[in-house]
Structure 1
Amino acid sequence: MKNSHVTQDTDPLLYDGHKRYHPGLSVDCVIFGFHDNQLKVLLLKMSHTDQRWALPGGFVLKDEDVESAAHHVLQSRTGLDNIFLRQFYLFGEVERSDRELNRKMLQGRGVDPHEDHWLLQRFITIGYYALVDFTKALPRPDELSDACDWWDFHNLPPLMMDHARILQKALEALRQQLNREPIGYNLLPEKFTMPELQKLYETILGKTLDRRNFQRKMLAYGILERLNERRSGGAHKAPYLYRFDLASYHKALEEGFSGGW
């Protein structure tokens, strides 16, 4: 029996989404952050799914570009604009959608779906990854979730459908980016030390890098500006602070550079 307060007017996503959105197409966003030397990922706790978590995602309006839909998801979940965003993979396996899980979510919201309900159909999803400043993001749940929180990438809760695979593919894509483009501007504070930048790279790559080789290579790229400031409060000699030369950084994003890790 339907919940009396759930109507087509109050919950149009569930009732007439098939009229507004492109059928069978969605976007899923892996939103990375970096905090306390941990690679973080933003997840949603989905309603009526036995504590299952999911990647922030959404549907594509019939008159909307796919990338615009991804930007809308990111802005809605983090409150941030101008986010670094990359498309990395298309997930189109026949069995990736979980009809029974979606049915349970609908029933939990007072909707008794018929078999051809648009949310019970097969969905192909386009994966995007985004890099955001952990300290500036304001996580917010969507209309199908109860919470939106950061999780350590290496200590994740149970995920719905194929979202664990999407996460792993996103990490692989991020590692590939490290071999041809810079990373850091969107994940670190404006000012940072060379050890902090190295720890970011090591965390993403999952391996230890030689300190001298790392510093030599990063300086050779010409994307860093050393400041006449040092990080205070440490037990050892205070390291210099750096910041990214944004003109050179964005040029490197466009043109790439050689040499991997």
Structure 2
Amino acid sequence: MEYQKELKRLIFDLKTNYLPSVSIDLVIFGFHDGQLKVLLLRWKTTDKWCLPGGRIRHEENMEAAAYRSLRERTGLSEIFLQQFHTFGDVDRYTHFSRHDTLSKLGLPEEDLKEFASRDVSVGYYALVEFAGATPTPDLFTDECCWWDIDQIPLLLFDHNDMITLALKTLRRQLSYQPIGYNLLPDKFTMPDLQQLYETILGQSLDRRNFQKRMLGYGILERLEERKTGGAHKAPYLYRFNKENYEKALRDEILFVG
């Protein structure tokens, strides 16, 4: 009963202080040590999961709302965030019907008319180093945690479709923009960078071709230091040239051709 009262209060707050019928959903990919995960929320009093997201406050820009939601769920700021698609199908209940979804959320359908009416959702994706994030549930959920990209359950609404499209978009991004800044230590090896790319792409890359291509873009600086402690010949350490990296992001021409 207390949960139902709180949910009604939250719905009233959404109706009063936020734009109606437009929402934001975040596909937050997490990378660490050769693993790719996605951040999910478990709805209160249920075993059902969904993507994090939120609404846009009156007098708040959409992108600012997306960054705010990202910060609230992860504790991170200054993270690359990319809008990738707008979801506006009439029926956005992919795996569970509207009636089943409302039942799983714990309130009769008439109490959720405003909350679960048709929404247009703007999808954003981000890529973070998940060891540095602090997953935090929102007021509608009990749990916020990372799921392996290959073990995602059936999600509420059309959120599985969102993840699929976001991953395709992220992989496509590698053809025209760099990745790696804020995902690797300040100093890293070429194998570290290659592992990041292979994890996101889900496939192996030729070592020599990868190194030749990456060095040709002018975003890396090779240091005189070598990585110590390995069994084989110690590889050189690299770091990103921040100015060149940011220019590559702006120009979106890094990997073209």
Secondary structure of 1:138's counterpart equals coil
CA apart distance, 1:69: 1.2
Structure 2 residue aligned with 1:21: 18
Distance, in Å, in 1 between the alignment partners of 2:128 and 2:3 is: 37
Aligned in 2, Cα 1:116/1:30: closer, same or farther, shift over 3 Å? closer
Q: Number of matched residues?
A: 254
Distance, in Å, in 2 between the alignment partners of 1:59 and 1:14 is: 11
Secondary structure of 1:167's counterpart equals helix
Structure 1 residue aligned with 2:35: 38
Letter in 1 for 2:117: Q
Secondary structure of 1:118's counterpart equals coil
Q: Does structure 2 conserve the Cα–Cα contact (< 8 Å) formed by 1:75 and 1:81?
A: yes
Q: Identify which of 175, 182, 185 aligns with 2:181.
A: 185
CA apart distance, 1:144: 1.0
In the alignment, does 2:137 pair up with 1:141?
yes
CA apart distance, 1:112: 5.0
CA apart distance, 1:213: 0.6
Structure 1 residue aligned with 2:70: 74
Q: Which runs of 5+ in 1 are unaligned?
A: none
Deviations 1:123-181 (A, max 9, x none): 11100011222222111111111111112112223321211110011111111110001
Q: Identify which of 233, 237, 240 aligns with 1:241.
A: 237
Q: Does structure 1 conserve the Cα–Cα contact (< 8 Å) formed by 2:45 and 2:142?
A: no
Secondary structure of 2:137's counterpart equals coil
Distance, in Å, in 1 between the alignment partners of 2:91 and 2:123 is: 17
Q: Does structure 1 conserve the Cα–Cα contact (< 8 Å) formed by 2:102 and 2:112?
A: no
Distance, in Å, in 1 between the alignment partners of 2:3 and 2:54 is: 24
Secondary structure of 2:130's counterpart equals coil
CA apart distance, 1:206: 1.8
Q: TM-score, normalised by structure 2?
A: 0.90
Q: Which runs of 5+ in 2 are unaligned?
A: none
Aligned in 2, Cα 1:101/1:143: closer, same or farther, shift over 3 Å? farther
Aligned in 2, Cα 1:114/1:218: closer, same or farther, shift over 3 Å? same
Secondary structure of 2:115's counterpart equals helix
Distance, in Å, in 1 between the alignment partners of 2:172 and 2:2 is: 50
Structure 2 residue aligned with 1:99: 98
Q: Identify which of 160, 165, 174 aligns with 1:169.
A: 165
Structure 1 residue aligned with 2:128: 132
Distance, in Å, in 2 between the alignment partners of 1:143 and 1:67 is: 21
CA apart distance, 1:116: 6.6
Aligned in 2, Cα 1:5/1:180: closer, same or farther, shift over 3 Å? closer
